[in-house]
Amino acid sequence: MSIDLAHAVVVITGASSGIGQATAEAFARRGSRLVLAARSLAALEKVAETCRSLGADAIAVETDVTDPQAVVALASKAEEFGRIDVWVSNVGIGAVGRFHETPIEAHEQVVRANLLGHINDAHAVVPIFLRQGHGVFINMISLGGFAAAPFAAAYSASKFGLRGFAEALRAELADKPNIHICDIYPAFVDTPGLRHGANYVGREITAPPPVINARRVARAIVEVAISPRPSTTVGSVTAMTRLAHLVAPNFAARTLGRFMEGYFERAPRVEVSSGNLYGPPARAGGIDGGLRSEASHTSRNVVLALTAIAALAAGAAVASGSHRRRRSIDALSDWLSRHR
């Protein structure tokens, strides 16, 4: 199945910045008719205006995906175009902090947005897809769907859960050849998301290199909309993370946890904040987060490759006993700290 995106009706949630905005602009260049959703109507209107300048029809619909009725209303608004061809379920928020130091309300809100929000999206649009006999539902998951992220327990829970939800829904719809449930797993992406997220660790948060351009993720989404497939990874880090988790999941998580502890000990202090958990950020921030450094891209990729080799080599020690495993984790953690 291949979809012609010219005049296709595309719904994008979380469209006010980052990957969502980049995806809206990418579909706009294809001539799609866009229904853009997020909590900030002002930010959405700016994105919609940009999309219209690119030649697309675009409307903005203020929507909180944690509210099922609001998502149903969004779907009804989109149906005014006559149909819904593609739905990009893109909302994602995070809270960084030790599990017991992060308010339980924050954990709940992360799961509510990242998991239940996507379930709400699907629950609103799948009946429409079934009535019209076709449709592509695209889930934005992330490498967090394959490997746990220490200091972001609820985020990890939501992403693991979202992957399970997508697999289950895909199985239910397996006898509907023109309805597709597609997952996107990008590596670390350069968006304003880290600045917007909740910070309960009180330290500056950044992403490890290499950080990929959000427009690259948007291109992958457009490609999946044209030629649907179940799972798409974006960035070599996702593939390596998936492999490391398959080979030695506990070892990989413990090593990452020790590395993050070391990073937070040295990172500059910042104020504790709930970020955008309970409302849109004061400034949407556009597509880019300013996390990429082109000048050091090559050297960072070398470091990444060496890190992957070291991780896989150390993983071989997992079966050799707890003492050796502890030494392997310590050695790899020290190496990561020196080369981050």
Cα 186 from Cα 189, distance rounded (Å)? 7
SS3 242: helix
Cβ–Cβ < 8 Å for 79, 250: no
- Record the tokens describing residue 108, joined without a space: 């709940």
- DSSP labels, 17-34: SHHHHHHHHHHHHTT-EE
Q: Are 24 and 15 in contact (CB under 8 A)?
A: yes
**Is residue 85 helix, strand or coil?**
coil
SS3 content of the chain, % helix, strand, coil (to 5): 55, 15, 30
Q: How far apart are CA 304 and CA 287, in angstroms?
A: 25
What is d(CA 158, CA 165) in angstroms, rounded to the nearest whole number?
Answer: 10
Going through the chain in order, the beta strands assigned E by DSSP cover 9-13, 33-38, 57-62, 86-89, 95-96, 135-140, 179-186, 189-190, 198-199, 212-213, 231-234
Its sign, for the CA torsion 254, 110, 22, 2, is: positive
Total residue count of the chain as it appears in this document: 340
Residue type, position 236, single letter: S
Give dist(CA 205, CA 267) in Å, integer.
8
Catalytic residues: 155
Q: Which residues of 123-140 are buried (b: 16+ CB within 10 A; e: fewer)?
A: ebbbebbeeeebbbbbbb
The tokens describing 297, both together, are 């891209």
